[in-house]
Amino acid sequence: QVQLVDSGGGLVQAGGSLRLSCAASSSAFGRYGMGWFRQAPGKEREFVAAISWTGGSTTYADSVKGRFTISRDNKNTVYLQMNSLQPEDTAVYSCAADRRPLRMLVTDTPAEYDIWGQGTQVTVSS
């Protein structure tokens, strides 16, 4: 079974950038769509971005569209490039693998993801 390890979080000033990484433990990762979610203190988990198993389809939450970019390489890693960060982006960010392999469409529904990374803290100061 695929295991996911998130990294790349940290403290950054408003307007700054960070790149998060999600490393999978298995080459089976290549058959699954991947998503990034975030959860701020006292708030529900929120969808951020997703990418299909081919890398050819992506989708973003309206709140990050134009600022964040999701991508994946052919070495079991998915990335989230975050630019123009704002204090409201502060949260724990977690990657997740789609429960269905080879899904043609990306999904923004947390229930459709069944393997999660441990999360990485992103803090944006004003």
- 69 has which bridge partners? 81
Considering only CA atoms, which of 11, 17, 6, 30 is closest in space to residue 96? 6
Q: Is the pLDDT of residue 28 over 90?
A: no
Q: For residue range 45-101, list pLDDT tens digits in order.
A: 999 999 999 999 999 999 999 999 999 997 789 999 999 999 999 999 999 999 999
Report the b/e string of 10-20 with b at 16+ CB within 10 A.
Answer: eebeeeeebeb
Query: Could you tell me the pLDDT band of residue 3, with boundaries at 50, 70 and 90?
Result: very high
Mean pLDDT of 10-34: 94
Determine the pLDDT at residue 58.
97
Mean pLDDT of 102-120: 94
